[in-house]
Structure 1
């Protein structure tokens, strides 16, 4: 038993960054303080770069606005979306940590059916540090969880599993619906009493899923270069498909490279319902296009020469341009942005040789004041 004066430090504090896209003051962090205060935050400010964003005292963070993005990436800044939460992937780009947890600023700490607060970050870490089983489904879900194991008939040759690249969490209260579903179910809510499922499972190989970016963890070293949230928002014909695009790309690459994706726990509390009419304006082309996009990803075959995430992603960009480009010029632009993203990733993440100067300006780090005792 720990001595009362001993401060327990949570896991991976030196190996994980929390990435938050925002256009407003980050007061929501107060509720997350017990779970986030030991971790480094990367905040990507969207919209007007002259607006001052307030971060609660006591957090260690970097804050980037659009001017910083342009300064650091130069012409390659064109691949980072503007006026859309897809800007969060800039945080993935500049992080130097092995793991990333990203969360939206309208998400709060949820409670399980017993009333206990859920430490979402801790559950993501557990998911990422345990193997996945994409090649054979275990009917008790995650066999690496305490109190579970592999069921009778599960091949022993597959019980070692594969490294987990992505941990996809869920949400309570406001469902993550598209605009048409929002319109027909405006009052529907998920509560811990009627929707909470106490389970984590591996998404099977060759199965796609709609990835939500509001509650997401991933191993940056394993899948980071593919975690590109596309071209969305200002100047683009589509929005609200950024995280799903990244999820489809990541899943086919994970399947090709033998990596796993988990979904289920942890839950968080999604507090704000976005306007369905505004969402419909952003989504309508995506709703139409996805009937061709999904079959495209289902049919993607990556050649065996694609042995890294970067090689896979460049090959995927070529297939996007060839197969989806004829549907709309947007996909040709997106395919070019995918290449630019990889170029930026390799440039920002290149290890400088001894004695050489870094290729990008130093990162802007800040430390807010320690919280005043109440």
Structure 2
């Protein structure tokens, strides 16, 4: 059974930031207090920067609005989306921690089948700290969880696994459906609790959802860009999926490069999905969603083959180099689909430049609202 606990875990207390995008008061944190209070929060306020966002007392946090983003990034602020949850990736930029957990403000604490509250953050940390197995699928899923192991026939040479870059959690209650599926299944709820964690196999893309997500910022951070969405853009609700596709490709290609290196025979990165579950409390309006998604629904039939066939040269030895090269291919190939992708390719380059600028050794950032307790 998945790890559940009503008491907070202090795992990675000084190595992990919780990033929350929001336009409203964060009353939902009261439910998460036993699990989140020991950790530092980075709150990215979307929408009207003059609005005051109230945070329950007792949390250690910093909050950034659009004025702060413009002040810190200057012209490079153009790569951060406005009026869309994609703005959360600004929190990834300013964090100085090794790990990130990001969650939406309509996600509450779920319960396992026994009725115990699920400490989602604790499970994400366990996923990230345990290796992944992207090269051969283990039919008992994650072999590093208690009570399981590698099955007969699994190569012993691969049983050490590889570092885990991303932990992708799931949702009870309201599933993460697109607008057409919402419209034909308006009453559908996800009530199935599947007690499993698995590594997504190498070469397989997946639709990443950003509402319950953790990742190793030091490994994959420069590729965790949520694109250009929302105000002034022709598309929305594809921010997390864009990041997921880019991240998976960058992960696979870096795996390929590193597997050629003499440093470590099986060094590479993995992506896990499954546990932990959160309780997704409300469904967004499917008609509003359709307006945001309709071009993406059409474009994704071009996007998936693009990512499936993407090949990066061997001199892409860092995530930044992989991402810059990928931006060139986005411009050359997807730019023919729509001029939006030319703009997106430019934003990808700007994002990497901003990442490198803010993550220089010794670079400090003025916290706009200080650290509140």
1:281 aligns to 2:291 (yes or no): yes
1:302 aligns to 2:312 (yes or no): yes
Residues 212-231 of structure 1 show CA distances to partners (whole Å, capped at 9, x for unaligned) of 00000000000000000000
User: Conserved in 2, the CA contact under 8 Å of 1:43 and 1:64?
Assistant: yes
Aligned to 2:84: 84
In structure 1, stretches of 5+ residues that fail to align are 1-6, 353-357, 370-374
Residues 49-95 of structure 1 show CA distances to partners (whole Å, capped at 9, x for unaligned) of 00000000000001000000000000000000000000000000000
Aligned to 1:366: 370
Superposition CA RMSD, Å: 1.1
Aligned to 2:165: 165
Aligned-pair distance for 1:361? 4.6
User: Conserved in 1, the CA contact under 8 Å of 2:8 and 2:36?
Assistant: no
Aligned to 1:272: 282
Aligned to 1:201: 198
Residues 101-143 of structure 1 show CA distances to partners (whole Å, capped at 9, x for unaligned) of 0000000000001101000000000000000000000000000
Aligned-pair distance for 1:303? 1.1
In structure 2, stretches of 5+ residues that fail to align are 1-6, 256-268
Aligned-pair distance for 1:10? 1.2
The runs of 4+ residues in structure 1 deviating greater than 4 Å are none
1:180 aligns to 2:180 (yes or no): yes
User: Size of the alignment, in residue pairs?
Assistant: 354
User: Conserved in 2, the CA contact under 8 Å of 1:43 and 1:63?
Assistant: yes
Aligned-pair distance for 1:260? 0.2
Residues 279-336 of structure 1 show CA distances to partners (whole Å, capped at 9, x for unaligned) of 0000000000000000000000111111100000000000000000011000000000
User: Conserved in 1, the CA contact under 8 Å of 2:8 and 2:35?
Assistant: no
User: Conserved in 2, the CA contact under 8 Å of 1:60 and 1:366?
Assistant: no
Aligned to 1:290: 300
Aligned-pair distance for 1:368? 3.6
1:66 aligns to 2:63 (yes or no): no
**CA distance in 1 between partners of 2:168 and 2:175 (Å):** 15
237-246 or 251-260, larger mean C-alpha shift: 251-260
Aligned-pair distance for 1:364? 2.9
**CA distance in 2 between partners of 1:183 and 1:21 (Å):** 26
User: Conserved in 1, the CA contact under 8 Å of 2:101 and 2:121?
Assistant: yes
Aligned to 1:98: 98
Alignment match of 2:323 (pick from 302, 310, 313): 313
What SS is found at the alignment partner of 1:362?
coil
